[in-house]
Structure 1
Amino acid sequence: MKPGLIVFLNGTSSSGKTSISTELLNQNEISFYHLSIDDFFNGLFHDYINFINTKYAEDVQGPTHIIIEPLITLFYSTIKFMSVMGTNIVVDTVNDTDERFNTFLGLLMDHPVLLVGVTCSKEELIRREKLRGDREIGLAISQYDKVYCLNEYDLELNTETLSPDECANLILNIIRSNREYSAFKKLNKRSVGVS
């Protein structure tokens, strides 16, 4: 069975990943399944994470870190499984730690990954966070340097100048071209330091 394509949208919170994903899901040419880390946690594990955060509210960092990282590994393992089963996937997540990046790289290295950088200015990220009202102001800026430290992409999209529909069409154009996606294979694991 031919593995499913993984369109990996790399960007901070509020950079426009979900809007692009929605456009890719709404087109009729290529079938995609959308896997979002927000949906993964807020849907499948919402009650579980709430229980942990409530029970151990005084020391959230320790228990949450112990539990969240394995769940993120499960998220990436789900992506790998779906690709193996021939499903095309649009991935919407934030790789803002070296551990998460290395998990992502290790599990998906042998799969067809189209690596797409989704960017906009810091000022625009703050404006979007204020408009959304469901994100802590400054979250995207706190992720910025770690998320955008990659120097290899198959495609870079500036969502300040391109609409979600235009971004989706540029992604589809690369897929239609049948060229090899090489950016992901050029990435190297990051050395994990003390944060």
Structure 2
Amino acid sequence: MPHPQPVLFLNGTSSAGKTTMAKEFQRQWGEPTLYASIDSFIFMFPQHVLDDDEVRKQVLWPLIGAFNKSLPNIVECGFPVIIDYVMESHVWLEQCLDSLAGFDVYFVGVECPLEELERREKQRGDRQVGFARWQYDRVHQYGDYDLVIDTGTLTPDACASKLCNLLKSGIKPKAFERLRQEQTKAKPDNTTSHRK
């Protein structure tokens, strides 16, 4: 079995530029790299399901749980992996921390000013207006990253270069391990869970 490569786990709101950055990273990095997007799972549902707020709420939780559980299988392919994620729930964070235990995961915060997010959201036309504002204070509430990138001031090329430099630096990722330790302290007996 191939030895797993480092993982870049991008976390940011809708329209923050994660996809563009990830694609540019794939171009810049010197070997084949996998792009795992939470949206690729969500859009397995037809649009009429996603447009119905009540149905959407029912179907997204089990589907995102399946995405989180699939991550170690993707990483074990032996290629570098860049994950595109919107961390809206502490439950999802717990699932990702559990499923990616034992792998080198760089937790990267992808930030952008709210005004710019809303401008992009309207300009693109393929995003529900208001998502970025709703997500803005939720996705970065965990407060621990190995790297933070501001897409409001940097080009996609410069953002991808920062990711390349992070991997080339040889610095070991620490954010996921710190978050795991916090999770353990919060549940010292490991018998309680917030998962649904």
Q: Decide: shared fold, TM above 0.5.
A: yes
1:14 aligned residue: 15
Q: Which residue of 1 aligns with 2:91?
A: 99
Tell me the CA shift for residue 165 of structure 1: 0.7
- 1:118-170 superposed Cα distances (whole Å, 9 cap, x missing partner): 00111111111011111122211101111011221111100011111101111
Deviation, 1:46, is: 2.3
The residue aligned with 1:87 is 79
Deviation at 1:14?
0.5
**Normalised TM-score (structure 1):** 0.85
Which secondary structure does the structure 1 equivalent of 2:82 belong to? strand
Identity %: 35
1:100–1:175 Cα change, 3 Å: same
Query: What are the residue-to-residue correspondences of 1:32-111 with 2, within 5 Å?
Result: 32-42=33-43, 45-47=44-46, 50=48, 60-61=53-54, 64-111=56-103
Q: 1:149 corresponds to which residue?
A: 141
- TM-score normalised according to structure 2 size: 0.84
Q: CA deviation at 1:77?
A: 2.2
Query: What letter matches 1:21 in structure 2?
Result: A
C-alpha RMSD of matched pairs (Å): 2.2
* Distance in 1, Cα, partners of 2:194 & 2:117: 27
Report the more deviating stretch, 74-83 or 18-27: 74-83
- The Cα shift of 1:95 comes to 1.1
Unaligned segments of structure 1, at least 5 residues: none
Q: Which ranges of 4 or more aligned residues in structure 1 deviate by more than 6 Å?
A: none
Secondary structure at the counterpart of residue 90 of structure 1 = strand
Q: 2:11–2:109: 8 Å Cα contact kept in structure 1? A: yes
Shift of 1:173: 0.7
What is the CA distance between 1:110 and its match in structure 2?
2.0
Query: SS in structure 1 opposite 2:137?
Result: helix
Q: Distance in 2 between matches of 1:144 and 1:89?
A: 25
CA distance in structure 2 between the partners assigned to 1:135 and 1:186 by the alignment: 33
- The separation in 1 between residues aligned to 2:39 and 2:73, in whole angstroms, is 19
Q: 1:138 maps to which residue?
A: 130
CA 1:66–1:106: 2 relative to 1, 3 Å? farther
Match of 2:163 in 1: 171
